[in-house]
Structure 1
Amino acid sequence: MSMRHHILIPTDFSENAWSAALYALKLYAEKPCTFYFLHAWTFSSGSRTYVSPSYIDILQDKSKAHLAEVKELAISESTNSEHKFEILFRLDPLLDAIKNVIEEHHIDQIIMGTKGATGAKEFLLGSNTVSVIDKVRLCPLLLVPSNFAYVTPNQIGFPTDFNRGYGDELQPIKNLADIHNSRIKVLHINSKEHLTETQNANMDFLKTNLKDYQHSFNWVPDKGKKEHAIESFIEENNINILTMINYEHGIIEDFIKEPVIKRLGYHSDIPFFVVPHTN
């Protein structure tokens, strides 16, 4: 009896959000899952004119109807009778809604699209996505690029610098590898000739921890920007999902803190799995 996965899919009814839903259905095609479609609704009138409550009711009903349609579409796309679908309509800002739903429904993963409906060209990741990566540290997050055609993730890339000890955050990466018996390709971008004692100890721990998984350790010299090294690694190794641990003050935070999130461009090609660091 395999465990049931509880997966949260926030939706703004964009093509992009639907891409992420399709990816989730295919990724978990063989697994018992409950998928929760969440729409967080906040009214913004833009101007200060009076808006009648009945008009707001109409808008809310429209959103609820869209949510029901998404569920029906998902049911028709799913190939597994062990897939269940729930819809959640919340009158909260997105981040609050996500946090509450994670706790109420014991969500173990969020899957969402990387571009919002606004399609602001300057953000490869919509501002919503960025705040979710930044603020939601309760469970892993899988970001799916828009119009990404599903590929079985045979190769999972895992860049790490061995500078910090590993704890529970390795488990979601292993769970991801378990779904399709994927190989975990650890990538280390080495800026110095030798690892420190701490790095060696952490690397040994990681090797031991991954011993039951197909895995390899890959060394790439540091020749400039880390994201270029990661990008080449993805291409040369046919990586299907890139996974990273989101430490306080780590590489992901550096990417997110850029004034315009151009540097996340290299993730726009394949899904990106962000695991929060657990203290």
Structure 2
Amino acid sequence: MKKILFPTDFSDVANNAFVHALEFAKIIKGEILLLHTFELPVIENQFTPDSYFSIYDSMQLTQFDMFKGQIPKLRELAEKQHLENIKLSHKLVEGDLIYNIKRTIEEENIDFVIMGTSGATGWEAFFIGSNTGAVVSAVNVPVLSVPVEAEFTKVKNIGFTTRFREKDKKSLRQVLKIAKKSNAAVKCLYVKTSKSDIDQEAINQWEKEFLNEPIEFSVVQSDLVKENILDFISHKNIDILAMITHKRNFFSELFNPSLTQKFSNISTVPILAMHEEE
């Protein structure tokens, strides 16, 4: 059974993403591990050593009580989605969020991470400096980021951007497995720039190899890569966009306000960040 790690701070942003995590677990027949982390503050030296323990014990107890009180609310969300049968387990740990996510991925053999994201600048905050963006860079499993504006709808079209490299095929096949389980189509986009070294023969080979799969290939000749990806999301009715994170700075440029304001629906599209094969 596939395992999904769901880091949460129990905010509205996280709870919205939790619905997506439940539905994703249903698609892949997976289970969810909830992770909440907290950090204890540095105690100033005016406190006596004996005071440290009572302060820390009190703060840890507060965190535990809060955590214990939030779990039933998430189970209620699962019931509302009629997904109460999805297996849920939970973990409360002290320490740095990124460190604990990485450690949990290794210890629990996690297959996917799903997190919520928000911010006044939407996706820019995700890719430039938020916790979710840091997780994308730090871990070696796919990360599904869900913007707070994204209400879950049935996944019908999964977008996948490619450069028609041989090593992109592994990620495409992974996306294809997810699509088949949800009866969705996969729509691939390649923006062929003036610097592209991919010839038509390579494109034809890909189309031939995936001829019998529910995949549609689109090739656009343009140097406006970011704009064409956004246009692709809008015009192809993409529900989830899968992208390979070969350039993190490209992601931060892709979803900046000057572009996204032209496409009102972009902020509601979850992104599945997949890692480039070496």
Larger helix percent: 2
Whole-angstrom CA distance in 2 between matches of 1:69 and 1:143: 24
Aligned to 1:159, which of 158, 161, 181? 161
1:156/1:177 contact within 8 Å kept = yes
Deviations 1:141-189 (A, max 9, x none): 1111114221211111112222563353333212221221211111111
Q: Within the alignment, does 1:23 sit opposite 2:25 as a pair?
A: no
Partner of 2:267: 268
| Higher Rg of the two aligned structures | 2
Q: Within the alignment, does 1:255 sit opposite 2:251 as a pair?
A: yes
Partner of 1:53: 56
Partner of 2:219: 219
Gaps of 5+ in 1: none
Residues 42 and 154 of structure 1: is their aligned pair in 2 closer, same or farther, counting only changes over 3 Å?
same
Residues 34 and 209 of structure 1: is their aligned pair in 2 closer, same or farther, counting only changes over 3 Å?
farther
Partner of 2:102: 99
Partner of 1:79: 82
Whole-angstrom CA distance in 2 between matches of 1:202 and 1:90: 48
Q: Secondary structure at the match of 2:6?
A: strand
Partner of 1:64: 67
Tell me the amino acid that sits aligned with residue 20 of structure 2: Y
Q: Secondary structure at the match of 2:152?
A: coil
- Cα offset for 1:278? 2.3
Aligned to 1:141, which of 137, 140, 143? 143
Tell me the amino acid that sits aligned with residue 76 of structure 1: E
Whole-angstrom CA distance in 1 between matches of 2:253 and 2:218: 28
Aligned to 1:7, which of 4, 7, 11? 4
2:168/2:277 contact within 8 Å kept = no
Residues 134 and 30 of structure 1: is their aligned pair in 2 closer, same or farther, counting only changes over 3 Å?
closer
Q: Within the alignment, does 1:38 sit opposite 2:35 as a pair?
A: yes
Gaps of 5+ in 2: none
2:151/2:268 contact within 8 Å kept = no
Partner of 1:207: 207
- Cα offset for 1:275? 0.8
Q: Within the alignment, does 1:111 sit opposite 2:106 as a pair?
A: no
1:144/1:271 contact within 8 Å kept = yes
TM score, norm. by length of structure 2 = 0.81
Name which of structure 1's ranges 37-46 and 99-108 shifts more when overlaid on structure 2.
37-46
Deviations 1:231-259 (A, max 9, x none): 11111111111111112xx3x4323389x
Residues 145 and 132 of structure 1: is their aligned pair in 2 closer, same or farther, counting only changes over 3 Å?
same
- Cα offset for 1:74? 4.5
Whole-angstrom CA distance in 2 between matches of 1:264 and 1:70: 37
Deviations 1:42-96 (A, max 9, x none): 1346988757223322332234324523543344245356521000112121111
1:164/1:199 contact within 8 Å kept = no
Whole-angstrom CA distance in 1 between matches of 2:91 and 2:46: 29
Query: Number of paired residues?
Result: 264
Q: How large is the RMSD of aligned CA atoms in angstroms?
A: 3.1
Whole-angstrom CA distance in 2 between matches of 1:78 and 1:48: 50
Partner of 1:230: 229
2:27/2:178 contact within 8 Å kept = no
Deviations 1:184-211 (A, max 9, x none): 111111223x964x55465345335534
Q: Secondary structure at the match of 1:168?
A: helix
Identity of aligned residues (%): 23
TM score, norm. by length of structure 1 = 0.81
